Structure 1
Amino acid sequence: MKVDRHGQAKVLSPDEAQQLFNAFTTNRDRALFGICLFTGCRINEACTLLTNDVYDTAGVRTKITIRKQHTKGKQETRQITTHPSLKTYLEAYQEQAGKRYLFPGRHRRGHLNPRSADAILRQVCDRLHLEGISTHSFRRTALTQMSSAGIPLRVIQEISGHRSLQALQKYLEVSEQQVEQAIAVVGF
């Protein structure tokens, strides 16, 4: 768990995620962190999304496009199916979205800086007295939930954009309950 911004970001419990989304004060914040949670993307990938990669003339697209130039390794563009809960957040935000960037920066120039997104999250976490949470918590939570649900690692890798399964596995948290369940299946 992160302590003083060092260490791995905490994986959110369902209760913590609910508290955060209830505490976000704007549609922008719910849409921004909803993208991070429901696509498993990095905060920089969310902040640099183009409006056309999320919305078309009919509304929210069925797939969100994360362009390779906005990814960490600039390896390849990926598309992620829009989760129904994320679609709700994006519909509520659509009127405020920028013309070029989904989340415009100050004075509607450029895109929202990831450090600004971090500051928004830290303020909410401080207000709720939640510790160990960072913008990366949403990505770790998404990937860990997928793994816990039995989604094959190769599929999770495709969604997350990790170059290797080894890099992906560092993100995944194993719960005590999972260990107990694994031991329980052993026998004859």
Structure 2
Amino acid sequence: MKQAKLLTQAEHKRVQAVIDAHRYSRRNHAIFAFSYFAGLRACEIAALKVGDVFDANGQVSDTIFLAAGQTKGNDANTILVSKKLARALAIYAAAYPKHVARVDAPLFFSAKRGGFSAQTIVNLFARFYALAGIKGASSHTGRRQFLTELADKGVNVRVIQALARHKNLNTTMRYIDLNENKLRNAIELVSG
């Protein structure tokens, strides 16, 4: 199975610039943040409700509970909210306070004020990557980047598996990018 492309820093900046130029930039930054800072899949992002993410006072929750029907594998899961994701969500809430006050509403809305489907989220990612001139990136790019960066920073693979919400460790391993530079850096760690 071909893996989604990982972005370079320059490509990531280009995508951010494209999002900034869009009418719903704060919404789109929050959608991308769920992928890049929490590793959510398009179907999970589309399934989120306002009340899943924000408490009764409109503050970002530090933990998001996904019901079985909101996940790919129909297993309830917990998502931990990082500081970067919380910042993106706070900016989103400030931009759309009336929307965020509706706890049962879909978290993300279209121009027609309806919720997003998983396919709409997939198309949104594809559109912004295309506008940024990036080939091979998909809605799974952020998820793969999230897991690979954790591995690159030395996070234990079992922790990564838990954050990815994978049942099988082999599935997690397929997400983590390996290249010659990483292998060369690894062998230099051996002292002797």
- Unmatched 5+ residue regions in structure 1? 1-5
Q: For the structure 1 residues 79 and 128, does the alpha-carbon distance in structure 2 shift closer, same or farther, using more than 3 Å as the test? A: closer
Matched, 1:108 2:113: yes
Matched, 1:169 2:164: no
Matched, 1:154 2:149: no
Q: Which moved more, 1:68-77 or 1:153-162?
A: 68-77
Which residue matches 2:50? 51
Equivalent positions of 1:129-144 (< 5 A) are 129-144=133-148
Q: TM-score, normalised by structure 2?
A: 0.84
Q: CA deviation at 1:124?
A: 2.1
Q: CA deviation at 1:116?
A: 1.8
Provide the secondary structure at the position in 1 that maps to 2:15.
helix
Q: CA deviation at 1:52?
A: 0.9
Aligned residues of 2:26 and 2:92 also touching (Cα < 8 A): yes
The one-letter amino acid paired with 1:59 is Q
Q: CA deviation at 1:177?
A: 1.7
Aligned length: 181
Which residue matches 1:90? 89
Q: TM-score, normalised by structure 1?
A: 0.86
Matched, 1:18 2:17: no
Q: Distance in 1 between matches of 2:67 and 2:7?
A: 27
Partner deviation per Cα, 1:84-107 (whole Å, 9 max, x = no partner): 222222112112646321013574
Equivalent positions of 1:170-185 (< 5 A) are 170-185=174-189
Aligned residues of 2:11 and 2:132 also touching (Cα < 8 A): no
Q: Distance in 2 between matches of 1:27 and 1:68?
A: 28
- Unmatched 5+ residue regions in structure 2? none
Q: CA deviation at 1:126?
A: 2.1
Q: CA deviation at 1:58?
A: 4.5
Q: CA deviation at 1:10?
A: 0.7
Provide the secondary structure at the position in 1 that maps to 2:175.
coil
Q: Distance in 1 between matches of 2:166 and 2:126?
A: 26
Provide the secondary structure at the position in 2 that maps to 1:108.
coil
Which residue matches 1:3? none
Provide the secondary structure at the position in 2 that maps to 1:64.
strand
Q: CA deviation at 1:187?
A: 6.3
Q: CA deviation at 1:11?
A: 1.5
Instruction: Give the percent of matched residue pairs that are identical in Structure 1 and Structure 2.
Output: 25
Alignment RMSD, CA only?
A: 2.0
Q: Distance in 2 between matches of 1:69 and 1:22?
A: 34
Q: CA deviation at 1:66?
A: 2.6
Which residue matches 1:8? 3
The one-letter amino acid paired with 1:15 is A
